[in-house]
Amino acid sequence: MRIAIGLLAALVVGVRASAAGQSCESLTGLVLDDTTITAASIVPAGTYCKVEGVVEPSNHFEVWLPTSGWNGKYLGVGNGALGGYINYFGMQPALARGYATGGTDNGHQGGLFDASWAAGHPELVVEFGHRSVHTTTVAAKAVVQAFYGVAPSRSYFVGCSTGGRQGLMEAQRYPEDYDGVVAGAPANPLTQVAVAGNWVSQVLHDDPATFIREEQLPLIADAVVARCDARDGVADGVVDDPRRCRWNPRELRCPRGASTPDSCLTTEQVKALKRIYAGPRTQRGKRVFPGFAPGGEIGSGSDIGPAGEPSLSGWEGWIIGTELSLHHPIQDSLFKYIVFEDPAWDWRDFDFDRDPRFATQKAGDVLDAIDPDLSAFRARGGKIVMYHGWSDPAIPPGASIQYYERVRATMGRRETPDFFRLFMAPGMQHCAGGPGPNTFDAVGALEHWVEDGTVPDAIVATHRTAGVVDRTRPLCPYPLVARYDGTGDPSVAASFTCGKARR
């Protein structure tokens, strides 16, 4: 009842505020520091007021304002890859939930995998790294107040991948901007995520003999599931915790004289697969960054994730590419134009003893959201819901665990879950898709945590086949996992409880 009354009050506030504020069209006259409102109009059929603007030097943003049914709050949305666009995919569901919402192009326009805009423009790197989201947030809140006559009662941010990095960057650098952040599969150690991508490029593409073809992925995926699926007590085609998967790719090595290449792996391919799972290493074998986890190697096409963004899934979309080209060249462009500042730089020249450190020293201060000290954000009551799919083929899932453990070491192991929780999603791929339950309301969980103190002890996720829900499962706050009760329907979330992983 308390929640329902709160929502009703927000709606009433929204109606009154709209009556007391400015008209949509008049917002072009709004005077803000270093900001120009370039357009403001009602679209479509009176559904919302669309405001467009630019913050100097080059941050283009949009704010969408419901003309009725405003919930009294603001929701900023993040971007993907190397930005260069306003995330309408994320703004649309925010608007549908009654939020005023806003997004930025990160200070440049261009392709998702293209960083050529950074050449000779360090100010644009700063825009992409952190400034554009902050200045958009400041401008958007001013627009909201001008239109409705009151400031938003709460402000949240949601994003996945680059958007997850942006959310964590907000909590670290600009703790006053948001009351809560949803950070999905964050690329927050961006320079090192690029290192991991370059590692895969060298492993698979430097020698034609190591390349793993798309036709061989089902062989690998089936072998992982056969070995590790049932360790959690449920045979459902999903590896619950890949860290406990004791599968050795040698099992797939071709016998002598084998003439069916799609039914086995060559010795060179087995070595390559092991290196992908192991992650970047120095010449002496010291780990530089986590590797990709076994399980979920086969994708399910393009999906829409909890942050509202479309995402490719599976190794075919992110890791293997083709024998002649890198399918996912974010790291190639980032290194060329931001780290090494040389368009002729060749990914084959990357030195894993020297260059990971150089990349962090050169660009980490601007691009990496890895500060574990979240004291200022916590002090103002801020909350973070972070999630990562165990089958993510774009950003190694161990990276999120690594950051969360650093926060716990800094902020306190017992105290951290009071404001920051990580949810690992078995079988979920990059921001969306995969064989495991991968659709869930992270924003709703964050709202209840911030607004009425309902701690997210679990978030129920669903899996759909052909649009029909066929499985639900609780996502548990790390390090807890979903444990099957042994008697209930294993396709229903109620048959699971969150607890410590069984040994």
Supply φ then ψ for residue 490, to 5 degrees. -70, -5
The backbone region for 427, taken as left when phi is positive above 0, alpha when psi lies in -120 to 50, beta otherwise, is left
Q: Number of helices (H) and strands (E), helices first, in the chain?
A: 15, 15
Rounded (to 5) percent helix, strand, coil in the chain: 40, 20, 40
Strand-pairing partners, residue 50, are 41, 64
Verify whether residue 240 is a known catalytic residue.
Answer: no
Q: What does 74-88 look like in DSSP terms, one character per residue? A: EEEE---TT--S--H
Marked catalytic residue, from 134, 205, 430, 463: 430
- Which amino acid type is present at position 101? T
Verify whether residue 108 is a known catalytic residue.
Answer: no
Marked catalytic residue, from 161, 201, 313, 400: 161
Alpha-carbon separation of residue 417 from 158, 244, 334, 408, 480 (angstroms): 19, 24, 34, 8, 12
8 Å CB contact between 290 and 392: no
Q: Tally the C-alpha atoms within 13 A of residue 115's C-alpha that lie toward its C-beta.
A: 28
Marked catalytic residue, from 177, 205, 392, 463: 392
Eight-state DSSP code of residue 113: T
- For every residue of 327-388, which 3-state class applies, written as one string? CCCHHHHHHHHHHCCCCCCCHHHCCCCCHHHHHHHHHHHHHCCCCCCCHHHHHCCCEEEEEE
Verify whether residue 392 is a known catalytic residue.
Answer: yes
For 478, the token pair is 């790390």
Compute, in degrees rounded to 10, the torsion defined by CA atoms 280, 282, 288, 294: 30
8 Å CB contact between 147 and 24: yes
Distance CA 502, CA 482 (A): 10
For 404, the token pair is 């969360």
Contacts of 32 (CB under 8 A, 6+ apart): 139, 142
Distance CA 239, CA 246 (A): 11
Catalytically active residues are 161, 392, 430
